[in-house]
Amino acid sequence: MNPERATAKVGAGLAEIAPGMRAFDLRYGVEEKPAPLQLILFGMQHVLIMFTAMIIAPLVIGQILNLPAEVRTTMLGAVMSAAASRQSFPHSG
């Protein structure tokens, strides 16, 4: 099979649009807001995902490097402290 043809076939499959939708249909306009309950649920989802993403890196790195529990705890504390800090780091230039 021709590689270019295979790529085009995969690309076409990825570009399929759900029935009844046009390309670039948006659920909400630029100035629209979801209902209050949806806002709360979306906000909770965002916080849970971001928190998980924040703590997973030190846990995985500590596990891979076989670090002691105290060092893993320190790494987690450092990540959470840095995330909670409102100070920005100065950059050179």
DSSP conformation class of 17: -
Q: What is the pLDDT, as a whole number, of residue 93?
A: 52
Residue 21, domain member (yes or no): no
Q: 62: which residues sit within 8 A by CB, 6+ positions away?
A: 71, 72, 75
- Alpha carbon 85 to its chain centroid, in Å, reads 20
Q: What is the pTM of this model?
A: 0.50
| Number of structural domains in the chain | 1
Q: What is the pLDDT along the chain (93 residues), one digit of tens a residue?
A: 555 555 555 555 555 566 666 666 667 777 888 889 999 999 999 999 988 988 999 999 999 999 999 999 999 999 888 888 866 666 655
Q: What is the pLDDT, as a whole number, of residue 60?
A: 93
Residue 10, domain member (yes or no): no
Residue 70, domain member (yes or no): yes
Place of tokens 């670090």: 67
Q: 23: which residues sit within 8 A by CB, 6+ positions away?
A: 17
Residue 40, domain member (yes or no): yes
Residue 72, domain member (yes or no): yes
Residue 78, domain member (yes or no): yes
Residue 91, domain member (yes or no): no
Q: Which domain holds residue 71?
A: 34-85
Q: What angle do CA 49, 83, 58 make, to 5 degrees?
A: 70
